[in-house]
Amino acid sequence: MELEAIETWKSGKSRRRVAARSLFCFWAVRDLGISMGKLSRSSNLSLSGVSQSVARGEKMAEIKGFELLDKEL
């Protein structure tokens, strides 16, 4: 995403930041099994914001073929 990890969680809606955040939320919830509630609390995003990010990240991963490389973290 050409974005420093710390930039992902700064406030704002730049396209790169939203894309990185969405992919992270998708992989965290779907592949790593982190609950949306826990992710919401730890990321300062609302529960609905996390839910929307997961859906957006899923579409991005499917369309662009993005995959989480190491699911055994």
Whole-number Å distance between alpha carbons of 51 and 34: 12
Per-residue tens of pLDDT for the chain, all 73 residues: 888 888 888 888 889 999 999 999 999 999 999 999 999 999 889 999 999 999 999 999 999 999 888 655 5
| The residue type at 2 | E
Written as one string, the DSSP assignment of the chain is ----GGGGGSSS--HHHHHHHHHHHHIIIIIT---HHHHHHHHT--HHHHHHHHHHHHHHHHHHT---S----
Tell me, what's the pLDDT at 71?
Answer: 56
The count of other CB atoms within 10 Å of the CB of residue 21 is 24
d(Cα 61, Cα 22) in Å, to the nearest integer? Answer: 10
